[in-house]
């Protein structure tokens, strides 16, 4: 049985509707695929499980009032974010009867972004679980630093060349914002070429859907944890996102003449003062600045990151300024990172682009996107 109800979002919004924000942790734009102002509820039998990045997907057979059966796609956030909620590949299995609610796909697509529901054993989750509970909705504490100022969170001896030890794990969900339409100023100051490229970008062009490493500047804005290692002449930033390493050279060198562009570019850092680490990056590949399709030139792109650490060294306010010829003035992204007890940086599950190509096939676009560029 299926019903669609037009309604405004609850005060918590899409990002807060399931487990404190799975939509917020999505790689690409929720708005590109789903209409936040719709609400769908239905029951059906699970026919397919794809527990893989970049998005967990299920397919479900829904029987209509006239007896016909429609097959719908259900989407969650990433495997990485769901595992943090003790959700695994066996939580929903083929053959389970599932009751779900959430936001519907745009343009009549048979898709639902799950905000809550009831599992086959009757266990409620997300918005449905909260509706059945008298307990208050969980509070968002991602901006709270849960760390001990008397504890050493680093990995070893303090490097005398640096003011303090920044090695060890960092929680990047601290002061997180969705990396979609988050850049300032507004309105976006496109040049004519920048506007033309933005207008040409389609949701299917998002590198994240094809499991291509996002690199800078998007990886700066994502909420997944990272490790920092001190290698003497450089810091090594190891991001959970795509298990991606990044070197920040700290010995004053400049990029060699034959430096090839890459997803994370070539980064050179310096301590500006006792609490401020500055990192400049060049030699980036072309791509997207965010999940909505803001273009990045690559060749002409330069970023400057500033990490201003708190006096106790347990958190940092982080900003990234993006200089790119597709925009008439610099763009700014604001984030943060924090220490936390028992923080597990871990490793991201592998990414499977099968869902992306299935979407292309269903939309009749597979042949077009498989053409040599």
Q: What is the pLDDT of residues 168-201, one digit of tens each?
A: 999 999 999 888 889 999 999 999 999 999 999 9
DSSP output for 110-152: SEEEEEEEE-TTS-EEHHHHHHT--SPPPP--TTS----TTS-
Residue 360's pLDDT band (boundaries 50, 70, 90)? confident
Instruction: Name the helix (H) or strand (E) containing 98.
Output: strand 97-105
Residue 4's pLDDT band (boundaries 50, 70, 90)? very low
Residue 31's pLDDT band (boundaries 50, 70, 90)? low
Residue 260 has pLDDT above 90, yes or no: yes
Q: For position 214, what pLDDT does the model report?
A: 86
Query: Could you say which architecture CATH assigns to the domain 2-135?
Result: Beta Barrel (2.40)
Which of 3-12, 150-159, 248-257 comes out lowest in average pLDDT?
3-12
Report how far residue 25's alpha carbon sits from residue 178's, in angstroms, rounded to the nearest whole number: 7
Q: Catalogue the E-assigned strands of 274-310.
A: 276-282, 287-288, 295-296, 302-309
Say what the pTM is. Answer: 0.79
Summarize the confidence of residues 342-356 as an average pLDDT.
Answer: 80
Out of 9-13, 132-136, 334-338, the most confident range is 334-338
* Percent of residues, the chain, with pLDDT higher than 90: 52
Residue 309's pLDDT band (boundaries 50, 70, 90)? very high
Q: For position 16, what pLDDT does the model report?
A: 37
Q: Where are the domains of the chain?
A: 2-135, 168-338
Residue 25's pLDDT band (boundaries 50, 70, 90)? very low
Q: For position 106, what pLDDT does the model report?
A: 81
Strand, helix or coil for residue 32: helix
Mean pLDDT of the chain: 85
Summarize the confidence of residues 268-272 as an average pLDDT.
Answer: 98
Residue 327's pLDDT band (boundaries 50, 70, 90)? very high
Summarize the confidence of residues 64-92 as an average pLDDT.
Answer: 85
Between 127 and 255, the higher pLDDT residue: 255
Report how far residue 174's alpha carbon sits from residue 154's, in angstroms, rounded to the nearest whole number: 18
Q: For position 18, what pLDDT does the model report?
A: 43
**Which of these CATH numbers, 2.40.128, 1.10.357, 1.20.1250, 1.25.10, describes 168-338?**
2.40.128
Is 168-338 the same fold as 2-135?
A: no
Summarize the confidence of residues 157-171 as an average pLDDT.
Answer: 92
DSSP output for 175-225: T---SSS--BSSS--B-HHHHHHHHH--GGG-GGGGT----TTHHHH----
Residue 297's pLDDT band (boundaries 50, 70, 90)? very high
Are 18 and 138 contacting, i.e. CB atoms less than 8 angstroms apart? no
């Amino acid at each position: 049985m299926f019903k669609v109800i037009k309604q405004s979002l609850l005060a918590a919004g899409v990002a807060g509707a399931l487990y404190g924000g799975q939509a917020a942790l999505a790689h690409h734009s929720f708005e590109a695929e789903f209409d936040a102002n719709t609400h769908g509820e239905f029951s059906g039998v699970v026919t397919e499980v794809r527990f893989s990045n970049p998005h967990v997907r299920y397919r479900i057979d829904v029987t209509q009032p006239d007896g016909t059966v429609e097959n719908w796609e259900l989407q969650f956030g990433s495997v990485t974010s769901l595992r943090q909620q003790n959700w695994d590949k066996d939580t929903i299995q083929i053959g389970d009867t599932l009751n779900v609610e959430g936001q519907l796909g745009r343009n009549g697509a048979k898709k639902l972004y799950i905000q809550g529901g009831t599992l086959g054993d009757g266990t409620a989750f997300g918005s449905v679980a909260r509706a059945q509970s008298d307990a208050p909705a969980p509070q968002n504490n991602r901006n709270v630093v849960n760390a001990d100022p008397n504890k050493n969170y680093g990995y070893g001896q303090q490097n005398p060349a640096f003011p303090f030890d920044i090695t060890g794990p960092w929680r990047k969900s601290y002061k997180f914002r969705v990396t979609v339409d988050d850049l300032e100023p507004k309105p976006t100051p496109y040049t004519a070429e920048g506007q033309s490229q933005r207008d040409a970008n389609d949701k299917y062009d998002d590198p994240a859907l094809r499991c291509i490493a996002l690199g800078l500047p998007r990886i700066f804005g994502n909420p997944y944890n990272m490790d920092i290692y001190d290698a003497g002449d450089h810091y090594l930033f190891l991001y959970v996102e795509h298990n991606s390493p990044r070197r920040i050279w700290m010995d004053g060198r400049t990029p060699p003449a034959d430096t090839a562009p890459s997803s994370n570019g070539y980064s050179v850092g310096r301590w500006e003062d006792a609490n401020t680490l500055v990192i400049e990056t060049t030699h980036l590949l072309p791509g997207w600045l965010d999940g909505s399709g803001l273009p990045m030139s690559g060749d002409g792109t330069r970023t400057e990151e500033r990490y201003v650490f708190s006096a106790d060294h347990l958190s940092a306010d982080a900003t990234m300024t993006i200089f790119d010829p597709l925009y008439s003035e610099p763009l700014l992204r604001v984030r943060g990172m924090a220490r936390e007890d028992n923080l597990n940086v871990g490793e991201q599950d592998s990414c499977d682009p099968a869902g992306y190509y299935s979407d292309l096939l269903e939309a009749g676009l597979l042949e077009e996107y498989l053409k040599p560029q």
